[in-house]
A and B are shown apart, each in its own frame.
Chain A
Amino acid sequence: MSRIGVAFDKARADGRALLVGCMPAGFPTVEGSIAAMTAMVEAGVDVIEVEIPYSDPVMDGPVIQKASDIALAGGVRTTDTLRIIEAVAATGAPVVTMTYWNPVERYGVDVFARDLAAAGGTGLITPDLIPDEADEWLAASDAHGLDHTFLVSPSSTDARLAMTVEHCRGFVYATAVMGVTGARARTSDAAPTLVSRVRAVTDLPVGVGLGVGTGAQAGTVAGYADGVIVGSALIRCLLDAPSEAEGLAALRTLSAELAEGVRTPVR
């Protein structure tokens, strides 16, 4: 079983959901992002999702795009991302990577899989790579023992949902809402239905992303999902802070609140 799978099993045995925290690599700087992700782990985030910053992130809302733009403007490279993954993996927390497809293709699909595995990454979440186009990635990730997580959406037909889940390893990423990333005032009505549709066709754990920003919302999602994925709200802690130290403090506070949330599922 993959390292992510082990972490999900352990959380499930504890009667809680897993908290996945997402942060773009190189935001606000390479060292700053290592510090931020380490702080998240120390404050109770179970799994770190490291996003490779990309110039055209069509699935991301304004917060993640702004953070990615800052990282890119700072000159972050794919090789820096791999270094960050290595540093965060050293904390002991499983590290999953999220990336749009072009940076991987440009790096070289098999070489990327090799280097990601060597850095201690567990696998990839691919928001714009659907299984229909993923033959090369499936082969490379299998060859290097990496997970492949594809997205399912409220708009996925039953046939597509089954096909997509069939190609997932590690966990399934359920997008809670139709729309881009970003914390929302209330959690999605569509998500519980989507999760139950996924459960009908697989035993893989299901992580729910898009729209979660508070401990209470995390608790709500933890009531029906195996994993709660939070990005924009955590990133905002750093974006909105007057100083790096204050940003890290806010990040720790919110991480702890979310960690508490996934431990008190609302069922």
Chain B
Amino acid sequence: MSADALAPLAGPQPDSTGHFGRFGGRFVPEALVAALDELDGAWRTAMADESFRAEFGGLLRDYAGTPSLLYEARRFSARVGARVLLKREDLNHTGAHKVRNVLGQALLTKRMGKTRVIAETGAGQHGVATATAAALFDLECVVYMGQVDTERQALNVARMRMLGATVVPVTNGSRTLKDAMNEAMRDWVANVDETHYLIGTAAGPHPFPAMVRDFVRGIGDEARQQCLDLTGALPDAVTACVGGGSNALGIFHAFVGDQDVRLYGFEAGGDGVATGRHAASITGGSAGVLHGTRTFVLQDADGQTLESHSISAGLDYPGVGPEHAWLHDTGRASYLPVTDDEAMAAFELLCRTEGIIPAIESAHALAGTVALAPKLAAELGREPTIVVNLSGRGDKDVHTAGDYFGILDKER
């Protein structure tokens, strides 16, 4: 299926101006509109071009290593009380679902004749993926990363530099992903002629949310077929973590039309939504405009963006992709918060039951699944089947997790 990962084209959302219901759109300086129009045109042309689809599909198969496995986690399932199937995006090249998006956008960059890509990154996974694609396609690469994140994700900073990227620590604002995104936008405004802004999630101004979704939608297309092959039926639920939300959209998209399949996005609840220290934009935020799109945002009474908090740098973002806002509005998907502690308990459980160290982002999806399983079982009157998007591997988070569990040997 990866041989034609882009077909068929996206569904009815967004509309031609990039709106998902009341969300989405373009809230950007006029200076960027020409570049967004160019990107929109290049993307639509590419989608309709068989040679582009074949090239993208070939890269996904031969370079990224997809289709990723759908693995039945029996020992984890026994502890959870559900038949849990893990979509192993952690096995992709660079260790996360993000490689799908960067390969698609890097191909588009080449088609547009641009020579430079910029990116923002939180945990560093998107930065590593972008640096990887830039190396593969011989593009200059600059990655903006909040200074706080460069410190907690030092390993990924080193990876990006090894791959030839320039990593720029951002010292403005909260010095996290939000500020890295602002800095990347500024760079783009100034250098838009030769530069493509390779946004890492299904957020930002149109066409990014729809385009990124379509580059990662292979996750769900694969998982849906794999689940049918393995179990003979569709799952009862599909779960994923939601920061900006690309992995969640990637896996949800194939199931949106399957009304019996419940879709759950688990947001970073940090210390608990009630404490105010969290990154749960849908659960604990309100509709607003941030980074070029209308969506749910963590903001104060004056519309100033609030600082987010999560143990996972990859989820530590005060906004969310506009399509998730729309899926929430329409009730098609449910969004629930998972605290840092709940995520880390699930992180440990997967390590110990399956020998798989997940990204802390993905541990939020696992924790949500642990909480969901008994409720779903009670409601259905049988053991439910739940597909969990294991969006990334935990190598980058070993330091954070080691710290959390107090198992780092601090003496050398």
Taking the closest CB of chain B, its distance from the CB of A208, in whole angstroms, is 14
Known A-B contacts A129-B27, A156-B30, A160-B30; the reply to A106 vs B301 at CB < 8 A is yes
Known A-B contacts A130-B33, A155-B34; the reply to A59 vs B303 at CB < 8 A is no
> Quick check: A101 and B27 within 8 Å, CB to CB?
yes
For residue B302, CB closer than 8 A to chain A, the reply is: yes
Contact residues, B273-309 vs A (CB, 8 A): 288-292, 297, 299, 301-305
> Quick check: A179 and B178 within 8 Å, CB to CB?
no
> Quick check: B190 and A102 within 8 Å, CB to CB?
no
Q: How far is the CA of A164 from the CA of B289 in the complex (A)?
A: 21
> Quick check: B299 and A156 within 8 Å, CB to CB?
no
Residue of A nearest to B319 (CB): A56
> Quick check: B288 and A55 within 8 Å, CB to CB?
no
Taking the closest CB of chain B, its distance from the CB of A74, in whole angstroms, is 13
> Quick check: A56 and B291 within 8 Å, CB to CB?
yes
For residue A217, CB closer than 8 A to chain B, the reply is: no
Residues of chain B within 8 A of A151, CB atoms compared: 29-31
Among the stretches B97-105, B135-143, B181-189, B378-386, the one at the interface with A is: B181-189
For residue A128, CB closer than 8 A to chain B, the reply is: yes
Residues of chain B within 8 A of A153, CB atoms compared: 29-31, 33-34
Q: How far is the CA of A72 from the CA of B25 in the complex (A)?
A: 27
Residues of chain B within 8 A of A59, CB atoms compared: 29, 189
> Quick check: B31 and A178 within 8 Å, CB to CB?
yes
> Quick check: A127 and B29 within 8 Å, CB to CB?
yes
Contact residues, B158-206 vs A (CB, 8 A): 172-173, 178, 182, 185-186, 189-193
Contact of B190 among A100, A152, A179 (CB under 8 A): A179
Most A-side CB within 10 Å, residue of B28, B290, B297, B302: B302
Known A-B contacts A56-B182, A56-B290; the reply to A106 vs B29 at CB < 8 A is no
> Quick check: B29 and A133 within 8 Å, CB to CB?
no
> Quick check: A178 and B192 within 8 Å, CB to CB?
yes
Question: When each residue 190-204 of chain A gets 1 if its CB lies under 8 Å from chain B and 0 otherwise, what string results?
Answer: 000000000000000
Contact of B31 among A61, A105, A175 (CB under 8 A): A175
Q: How far is the CA of A101 from the CA of B17 in the complex (A)?
A: 18
> Quick check: A133 and B33 within 8 Å, CB to CB?
no
Residues of chain A within 8 A of B172, CB atoms compared: 65, 69
Most B-side CB within 10 Å, residue of A55, A59, A150: A55
Known A-B contacts A130-B28, A133-B26; the reply to A160 vs B289 at CB < 8 A is no
Known A-B contacts A130-B30, A153-B29; the reply to A103 vs B302 at CB < 8 A is yes
Contact residues, A125-179 vs B (CB, 8 A): 127-130, 132-133, 150-157, 160, 164, 175, 178-179
Residues of chain B within 8 A of A58, CB atoms compared: 28-29, 182, 185-186, 189, 291
Residues of chain A within 8 A of B32, CB atoms compared: 155
Question: When each residue 57-98 of chain A gets 1 if its CB lies under 8 Å from chain B and 0 otherwise, what string results?
Answer: 111010001000100100001100000000000000000000
Contact residues, B229-246 vs A (CB, 8 A): none
> Quick check: A128 and B302 within 8 Å, CB to CB?
no
Residues of chain A within 8 A of B299, CB atoms compared: 102, 106
Contact of B304 among A55, A101, A152, A178 (CB under 8 A): A55
Residues of chain A within 8 A of B182, CB atoms compared: 56-58
Total A residues in contact with B, Cβ cutoff 8 Å: 40
Residue of A nearest to B188 (CB): A58
Q: How far is the CA of A235 from the CA of B35 in the complex (A)?
A: 31
Residues of chain A within 8 A of B303, CB atoms compared: 54, 78, 102-107
Residues of chain B within 8 A of A11, CB atoms compared: none
Q: How far is the CA of A173 from the CA of B303 in the complex (A)?
A: 24
For residue A250, CB closer than 8 A to chain B, the reply is: no
Taking the closest CB of chain A, its distance from the CB of B57, in whole angstroms, is 33
> Quick check: A180 and B290 within 8 Å, CB to CB?
no
Residues of chain B within 8 A of A106, CB atoms compared: 288, 299, 301-303
Q: How far is the CA of A127 from the CA of B32 in the complex (A)?
A: 11
> Quick check: B26 and A130 within 8 Å, CB to CB?
yes
Residues of chain B within 8 A of A100, CB atoms compared: 289
Residues of chain B within 8 A of A156, CB atoms compared: 30, 33-34
Name 18 extra pairs, CB < 8 A, besides A105-B303, A106-B301.
Answer: A56-B178, A58-B28, A58-B291, A78-B302, A100-B289, A102-B297, A130-B28, A132-B17, A153-B33, A154-B31, A155-B33, A156-B30, A156-B33, A175-B29, A175-B30, A178-B193, A179-B186, A180-B190
Residues of A within 8 A of B (CB): 54-59, 61, 65, 69, 72, 77-78, 100-107, 127-130, 132-133, 150-157, 160, 164, 175, 178-180
Residues of B within 8 A of A (CB): 17, 25-35, 37, 172-173, 178, 182, 185-186, 189-193, 288-292, 297, 299, 301-305
List 5 contacting pairs A-B, 8 Å CB cutoff, sorted by A.
Answer: A54-B303, A102-B290, A105-B303, A130-B30, A155-B30
Rank and list the top 10 A-B pairs by shortest CB-CB distance, nearest first.
A106-B303, A179-B190, A153-B31, A103-B303, A102-B303, A155-B34, A58-B185, A55-B304, A102-B289, A55-B305
